[in-house]
């Protein structure tokens, strides 16, 4: 690394070299010093952010678990859509599926912010009840 840094310093040094050799040595030394310090800093940050592999031993990867969770969520949302009132259905589809903001839902359906929050509150109550029913079955 030091050789490459010295070569880079040599290529980037602007004044004529035979006449300014002492200044070039100082310039090259500073480049090598700071490049080395920067390299060591990056290495330290990299090793500090690495996960200790001992902590990963109990982790198991089961692709079907994720798929089952997806199926449960799909079933919950399908059941929730069936039970929703019109305003709750608007909130569910536009806020969660289309990722619209509360303000855009208000403008689109010409309702107040309080109305949208009421739709959300009643939707969350129904979702909680459905989730409790699914986990007990």
Q: How far is CA 92 from CA 73, 83, 100, 105, in A?
A: 14, 12, 10, 11
Domain that holds residue 100: 79-136
Q: How far is CA 122 from CA 85, 96, 104, 125, 128, in A?
A: 9, 15, 20, 5, 10
| Position 72 in a domain | no
Q: Report the CATH number at residue 128.
A: 1.10.10
| Position 23 in a domain | no
| Position 115 in a domain | yes
| Position 91 in a domain | yes
| Position 49 in a domain | no
pLDDT digits (tens, 9 = 90+) for 55-114: 666 766 677 777 887 888 888 888 888 888 999 999 988 887 788 899 999 999 999 999
| Position 48 in a domain | no
Q: Look at the block and give the residue holding tokens 């070039």.
A: 24
Domain count, the chain: 1
pLDDT digits (tens, 9 = 90+) for 9-53: 777 777 776 677 778 778 788 888 888 888 888 888 887 776 666
| Position 89 in a domain | yes
């Amino acid at each position: 690394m030091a050789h490459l840094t010295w070569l880079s310093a040599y290529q980037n040094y602007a004044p004529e070299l035979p006449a300014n050799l002492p200044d070039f040595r100082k310039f090259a030394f500073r480049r090598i010093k700071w490049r080395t310090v920067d390299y060591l800093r990056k290495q330290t940050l990299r090793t500090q952010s690495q996960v200790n592999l001992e902590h990963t031993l109990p982790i198991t990867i089961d692709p079907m678990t994720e798929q089952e969770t997806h199926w449960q969520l799909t079933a919950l949302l399908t059941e929730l859509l069936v039970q929703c009132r019109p305003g709750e259905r608007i909130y569910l589809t536009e806020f969660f599926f289309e990722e619209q903001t509360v303000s855009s839902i208000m403008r689109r359906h010409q309702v107040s912010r309080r109305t949208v929050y009421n739709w959300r509150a009643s939707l969350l109550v129904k979702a909680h009840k459905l989730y409790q029913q699914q986990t007990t079955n």
